[in-house]
Chains A and B, each alone.
Chain A
Amino acid sequence: MLVYLLRRIGLAVITCVFISILTFIIIRLPPGDFVDAYIASLAASGSTVSLEQADAMRRDYGLDQPLPMQYLRWVGRVLEGDFGVSMVWRRPVAEVIGDRLWLTMLVSLAALFLTWAIALPIGIYSAVRQYSIADYIFTTLGFIGLAVPNFLLALILMYVGFRYLGLNVGGLFSTEYVQASWSWGRAWDLAKHLPLPAAVLALAGTAQLIRIMRANLLDELRKPYVVTARAKGLSEARAILKYPVRAALNPFASSIAYLFPYLVSGSIIVSLVLGLPTVGPLLLQALVAQDMFLAGAIVLLLGIMTVIGTLISDLLLTWIDPRIRLGGR
């Protein structure tokens, strides 16, 4: 078990190193370097930088050194939490992402829990009562949920919420709280704004997980150990929840792996439509504006989140499935 754990963590670290190299390459991809871009952006706003100043800046940022050295310096700074300066925002990248990162994670976690809370029971019900009327209804709704684009749903919900319910839709805060510092009032305001984006973001995932849960559980329900459990005299609910549902949980644990980066980026289009101050739109802006330090930081974060997500889901799987845990024994 310990060996397994160490090997997993070791592999995760190696993967992160490769991700950082790729990110560095992405940052360096555009012609010229940061200083060129900086000078260009200064020139656009009317001021100029002398050649000596530019050279001094290059020395400061280590841009006169060979690429491997530059990479090492960059990694060193990243490890200290310094992601460089966003050219568009003229502020350190960490500061630009900062608050948005927490809000994104909050929205996405809310969506994730909503997904599970809805998908698990419905998936179980649909499998146990296969071909019942309720199963058909859920299946139909599920397919609609899969087919409707999220942003369309967001638009419809916003329209309905605004037109008929008089809700304050869009964004995560009411106007008076957008720039305010944290207080109970601001938190409550956030809680009131959270359900709509969470529901929109949860929709597609829920539909998908219902299908996965139903299919998996249907497979498991036919296995002999379910009959064993019933033949012991367990009640139907207990027999199903303890045995086949446990076995069918594997994909739920696996889904964490790909949901984790999603936690950071959020859904870009939905965030744009709903005006959410999350990382998603930021990444889009950074890419459009070739703001490479900002884009690189976000890409790096996404990559590392994927690795961490995979690690967590691997650990969860070892907890759920003793065959993995004891495989090497």
Chain B
Amino acid sequence: MAEPSALSIRDLAVQFRNEQGVIRALDGVSFDLRAGQTLGIVGESGCGKSVTARSILRLIDRPGRITGGQILLDPAGPQAIDLTALDPDSRQMQQVRGGRIGLIFQEPMTALSVHYTVGNQIIEAIRQHRDLSKADAKAQAIALLGEVGIPHPQRRIDAYPFELSGGLRQRVGIAMALAGNPDIVIADEPTTALDVTTQAQILGLLQRLQREKGIALMLITHDMGVIAEMADEVAVMYLGRIVETAPVERLFAAPRHPYTRALLRAVPSILATPRQRLSTIGGAVPHPGLRPTGCSFHPRCTEMLGERCRREIPASVPLGVSGGASCFLPGASE
């Protein structure tokens, strides 16, 4: 479990400024993505998962802005790069995108342009990062399509995205993310838009590719089942903060944060008795602009300790393999 960290996020803060004020989308996020491992990032909608992914690639749209913290690529190596210090339009950042860090999207329907063939879009990604002739890049693209399990890749390379099914499109998306041979891949809810059987296939594919290529995979999802299946380590996010990190077995065996426990209770179980009501988390994620004082989860927490949770912000999750929770409950940070 002690693989070196491929990507270290430290106290990352992202703010969106608009007429209504400042929204703190990320508020001091820290975690490590270890080489060759899968880090699952889980949380409800709007808790900052996708913003995290986009800030790593420096692709946050205005008015979003990184206001603090570091994103360290190869933090242990001699040439650690702090991505927050780079100009988002710089050459170096362009080489990182796709070349070091690949991105897989949630919506395979809209993430591919309908105006160009699948081949055109993949070959472009290959040639962006490797000095290949058009013919060589095309051969590469065909090989890549075969690798992600697309039947008849020689034929499909000339297809337009709208001619493919959702599952095939997502495979194309994966091939495109891998085109520049990245050692880190961020998958932002890669299976949310797919039906259940296709989901299982895509997850199996991601797992296989990750093992074969030794990729550090950052898997963003709101599906605890996907986490259990895929992740080595898990980070649970709530309202722009990480509230718990843990190795995956530990997270399911002994969740330390009340929010994690609530999320796990909300997973439908095949063992449930008939007509048993599905447990839900009371209330909704507050708007990030209306962040509660103290621990931001306290209004929805069933284990609230009282005044302290309302006033003080619990310490961040400790870094390290065993993880911990950002909570005042005894034993939470062990």
Measuring CB to CB, which residues of chain A are less than 8 angstroms from any residue of chain B? 223-225, 227-236, 242-243, 246-247, 320-323, 326, 329
Contacts and interface: CB of A to CB of B under 8 A. Distances in A.
A323 B113 contact: no
A228 B186 CA distance: 12
Given A228-B103, A231-B98, A232-B180, 10 more contacts: A224-B111, A227-B59, A232-B98, A232-B176, A232-B179, A233-B94, A235-B94, A246-B115, A326-B160, A326-B162
16 contacts: A227-B54, A227-B59, A227-B105, A228-B112, A231-B97, A231-B177, A232-B98, A232-B128, A233-B98, A233-B125, A234-B124, A235-B94, A320-B115, A322-B114, A322-B115, A326-B163
Given A224-B111, A231-B57, A232-B124, A323 B160 contact: yes
A235 B93 CA distance: 10
A233 B99 contact: yes
Interface of B: 54, 57, 59, 89, 94-99, 102-103, 105-107, 110-117, 124-125, 128-129, 160, 162-163, 173, 176-177, 179-180
**Pairs A-B, 8 closest by C-beta atoms:** A233-B98, A231-B103, A233-B97, A232-B125, A232-B98, A224-B111, A225-B113, A224-B110
Contacts of A235: 89, 94
Output the residue of A224, A243, A246 with the most chain B CB within 10 A.
Answer: A224
Output the residue of A225, A232, A234, A246 with the most chain B CB within 10 A.
Answer: A232
B113 A243 contact: yes
A143 B96 CA distance: 42
A247 B129 CA distance: 25
Contact of A228 (B95, B111, B117, B163): B111
Given A235-B94, A247-B115, A326-B160, A228 B176 contact: yes
Output the residue of B98, B102, B117 with the most chain A CB within 10 A.
Answer: B98
Output the residue of A236, A247, A322 with the most chain B CB within 10 A.
Answer: A322
Contacts of B112: 225, 228
Contacts of B59: 227, 230-231
A251 to B, nearest CB: 15
Nearest to B61: A222
Contacts of A223: 110
Contacts of A242: 116, 124
Contacts of A234: 94, 124, 128
Contacts of A233: 94-99, 125, 128-129, 180
Contacts of A224: 105-107, 110-111
Output the residue of B94, B102, B103, B162 with the most chain A CB within 10 A.
Answer: B94
A236 B61 CA distance: 13
A323 B102 CA distance: 28
A246 B113 CA distance: 10
A329 B99 CA distance: 36
Given A224-B110, A326-B160, A232 B97 contact: yes
A81 B128 CA distance: 56
A223 B106 CA distance: 12
Output the residue of A230, A234, A326 with the most chain B CB within 10 A.
Answer: A230
Given A236-B89, A323-B162, A229 B103 contact: no
B167 to A, nearest CB: 18
Contacts of A227: 54, 59, 103, 105, 111
Output the residue of A223, A225, A231, A236 with the most chain B CB within 10 A.
Answer: A231
B87 to A, nearest CB: 11
A128 to B, nearest CB: 11
Nearest to A229: B113
Contacts of A236: 89
A116 to B, nearest CB: 19
Contact of B97 (A230, A322, A329): A230
A225 B105 CA distance: 9
A225 B116 CA distance: 11
A247 B177 CA distance: 22
B53 to A, nearest CB: 10
A165 B258 CA distance: 80
B102 to A, nearest CB: 8
Nearest to A235: B94
B332 to A, nearest CB: 36
Contacts of B162: 322-323, 326
Contacts of B129: 233
B159 to A, nearest CB: 9
Contacts of A321: 114-115
Nearest to B173: A228
